[in-house]
Amino acid sequence: MKEIDVTRVTETVERLCIEANTDLGEDVENAFRTMAETEVSPTGKEVLGLLLENAAIARREKMPICQDTGLAVVFMEIGQEVHFTNGDLEAAIHEGVRRGYQKGYLRKSTCHPFTRKNIGDNTPAIIHYKMVPGDNVSITIEPKGGGSENMSRVVMLTPSEGIEGIKAYVIQRVRESGPNPCPPIVVGVGIGGTFERAAFLAKKATLRPIGTKNPDPELEALEKEIHEAVNRLGIGPAGLGGKTTALAVHIEMMPCHIASLPLAVNIQCHAGRHKKATL
């Protein structure tokens, strides 16, 4: 049995919150460069260049990539041979978020749903746990901005709508979102499970590194088809026109009830913030 002091979790979460908000992921940065080469709109090409410049400044100056530093979403994969010591794991995660947003001078965005009074420290985090074999702990931080999250949806399609219904809804959601989620976006799609599971799958899909293939050939083909259709919408970088509306479309799928076809679309903004560490 491997023992991990929860203070290590706090320290790791603190660091990842800062890094995710100030150091653009290599996959996202590479996608900007690739798309800039093929973008036909002069304005779109200029926006992509500005995004690369912004990322370089943020990394160099240790400043946020965007003023919206997001709600902290934490994905934890916990080896079943791990035992946490010296405190409560969930409290340790929240403390890491609290410290990270304070130390990194990151905007605190959590508030009471009714009064809109700011909580003041960006807690509580949204935490997803998964038990896995082994004795390692993986922590991924995804600070999720409000603009892109507001454009995300869950819908219960009828089974008869099938793949064509899925394609139509995802494309429609991107079209209706327009410039609001700060394109170029990553479109996470969750298919199957239940109402709440589809939403989780869609959020998880946004974390897959841009440029990596879906291991399921059928889903890989579907991702490509939807991606091409989305980029034909002409929304473009910053919503100012062009062929680079989405950097990627990523799909996660699982079986569902015979009477249902749950579908979720989780849109991620151009910043695509995520950082990962293993204990």
Is the entire prediction scored with pTM above 0.85? Answer: yes
140-172 pLDDT, tens digit per residue, is 999 999 999 999 999 999 999 999 999 999 999
Confidence category of residue 208, pLDDT binned at 50, 70, 90: very high
Pairing of strands 261-268, 153-157: antiparallel
User: What is the average per-residue pLDDT within 117-126?
Assistant: 97
User: What is the average per-residue pLDDT within 200-209?
Assistant: 97
27-76 pLDDT, tens digit per residue, is 999 999 999 999 999 999 999 999 999 999 999 999 999 999 999 999 99
Residue 240 · residue 51 · CB < 8 Å: no
Map out the domains of the chain as residue ranges: 2-22+65-144, 147-272
Q: State yes or no: cis peptide before 183, omega within 30 of 0.
A: no
pLDDT of residue 60: 96
3-state secondary structure of 26: helix
Q: Residue 87: left (phi > 0), alpha (psi -120 to 50), or beta?
A: left
61-73 pLDDT, tens digit per residue, is 999 999 999 999 9
